[in-house]
Amino acid sequence: MQCPKCGNDNPDDAHACGSCSFILTKPDQERPGPSKGKWLLPVIGVLLVALSAGLVVFFKPTWAFLVALLALCSAITDIRRNWNKRKFKGKAIGAGILVLSCLFMLTLSYLRIDAPPIPNDYTIRDLRSAPPEYDQTYELLGRLTDVGLKLNKMSPIGLSAKEISRLEEINDLCKHKDFGTIKRHLQDNADDIIKLWRNAEIGREILTKLNEFPEIADLSEPSLEIGRSWFVSLRHLTHLHRAYVCLQSSQGNHKDAVDTLLTYESFVRKLSLNARSTITNLVCLACSGITINMANFIINNPETPPELRLRLERSMIPLAREHTSLRNALISEYIICKKEFPKMSNHPKIKYGSIAVFKLNSTLRLYMNFLNESIAIEEGRTQSNELKVWPDIYPNLPVKIDHKNKFPWYYRIYNPIGAKLLDIIAPAINSVLRLRTKLQIHSDLLKKVLDKRLGRDVNLKARAYSDEYIVDVENKKIFSPGPDGKPDTRDDIKLPINPEVLGW
């Protein structure tokens, strides 16, 4: 071994130069071991990837995207160049950090990207509407707004608070199942019913004026604000008409009973035709259900003349599809959500940085698919061209609102707020659709009862929930088992009958 300082030759096992005492180093000791510093660049690179990815996703600066891309490329290049020079442990660390960084970027990107806006979206022009000159009809309805009952003890229809309470007592008696029992209750309260009918002249005159119009126009802008409510007064008028019509029928004033029923039923049909809000539609469904009960009472009365039974058949039955349609209500609710959702998406509690936890467009697309399917079922056709609820670059994984409102786990991760909102909206809409089906079944049952009363052969084929309607002579009712498909349960949809009159 030659001394690097003085050049003197020394033995190979010497530790110091024999001439100048310089400490000697073996050739293999001169080679430096693997430096930990060589891992510093890729580690810094992948950390920059994670940091820049966060900047891109949360704050969206362009320079952060470029830094992330350059850092990622640098880390990949360095790890690839030194792959064969490193031991297994070093390779695992480098590859693991790189994979985790890429997954971090992909996950944050997955949570940030929304679906594109909906082309040809619903607007107020898609709603069924009446001519503008009929706008005054809703001004007339506004006179029924129940705002003065507490102030002057008088309702808009002309009844005092005490009389309204009495009317509700009589209405409860009209809900009895047995025809004979209802007739007896009506006779016992005949004087009060006639008095209430006369005192409610103001409300009845408003309905008469509304019936002079070919259509009742709801031209309001879809909004969360319900505004002044005339629903309570209309409910009182409906109950009053039921008591009066059934009383007149039981007293033998058959023509007056049928005339009053058909006048009120005509008003309800006109109101339901252009109704936009879900609440108005629900009111119309309830009123139509009560008019069916009135007609059923008249049909089951053994004294009702044949010509009046035929008149009921021509004028009232069955309910046309447009009178039970919820298309306006469904589209109105969608338009309201389309206006309100953007306000929610910018709320600090459901937004972090620029990450849209609430995917507005994806939520609206999924809602529209549900809306279009409901309308298609109502109109007896098949829905086509479902909107994709994912961004264009994503695969079109199946997502659908079903009756159980179960969303796939991957959609709940992608759009947690939107899925939660539709968890609330979808059951409410399904409940309204079930009420509409209940009214349609009631209309069907009334048609069966009338056919039987007219001496015709009756086909008991059911519209929904079962194959056939059930006639229960012992309990004096005709009914559908309802949504649960089981007879004699709480959800049965039924009409009381008088078997002795109908011949069942």
Q: Among 348, 388, 395, which residue's Cα sits nearest to residue 364?
A: 388
Is this prediction's pTM over 0.85?
Answer: no
CA distance 146 to 144: 6
Write down the pLDDT at residue 477.
92
CA distance 472 to 469: 10
CA distance 231 to 145: 8
CA distance 434 to 419: 22
- Would you say 429 and 378 are in contact if contact means Cβ atoms under 8 Å apart? no
Write down the pLDDT at residue 61.
47
**Could you tell me which residues are beta bridge partners of residue 471?**
478
Measure the CA angle with vertex 316, ends 312 and 321; round to 5°.
Answer: 155
List the structure tokens of 365: 């697309």
In the sheet where 477-480 sits, what is the strand order?
470-472, 477-480, 493-496
Quote the DSSP letter at residue 319: P
CA distance 387 to 410: 18
Q: Among 413, 417, 424, which residue's Cα sits nearest to residue 358?
A: 417
358: CB partners within 8 A, 6+ apart: 341, 344, 345, 350, 351, 415, 416, 417, 418, 421
- Would you say 42 and 94 are in contact if contact means Cβ atoms under 8 Å apart? yes
List the structure tokens of 368: 């529209």
Give me the phi and psi of 443, to 5 degrees please: -65, -40
- Would you say 445 and 479 are in contact if contact means Cβ atoms under 8 Å apart? yes
Write down the pLDDT at residue 325.
84
**Could you tell me which residues are beta bridge partners of residue 352?**
355
Write down the pLDDT at residue 442.
93
CA distance 238 to 473: 29
Q: How far apart are the first and last CA of the chain?
A: 125
Residue 99: strand, helix, or coil? helix
Write down the pLDDT at residue 101.
62
- Would you say 452 and 419 are in contact if contact means Cβ atoms under 8 Å apart? no
List the structure tokens of 199: 């005192």
List the structure tokens of 41: 């660049």
Write down the pLDDT at residue 149.
46
Write down the pLDDT at residue 252.
93
Write down the pLDDT at residue 67.
60
Walk along the chain (504 residues) and give the pLDDT tens digit of each residue: 778 777 778 887 777 787 777 777 655 444 444 444 455 555 665 566 566 555 555 554 445 555 655 666 666 666 666 655 555 455 565 566 666 666 665 665 556 688 999 988 999 999 988 888 888 898 888 888 865 445 456 788 999 889 999 999 999 888 766 788 888 899 999 999 999 999 999 999 999 999 999 999 888 888 876 655 788 899 999 999 999 999 999 999 999 999 999 999 999 999 998 888 888 888 999 999 999 999 999 999 999 999 999 999 888 777 777 778 888 989 999 999 998 888 876 665 555 445 557 888 999 999 999 888 888 887 777 777 889 999 888 888 888 876 555 788 888 888 888 888 888 888 888 888 889 899 999 999 999 999 999 999 999 999 889 999 999 999 999 999 998 889 989 899 999 999 989 888
List the structure tokens of 238: 């409906």
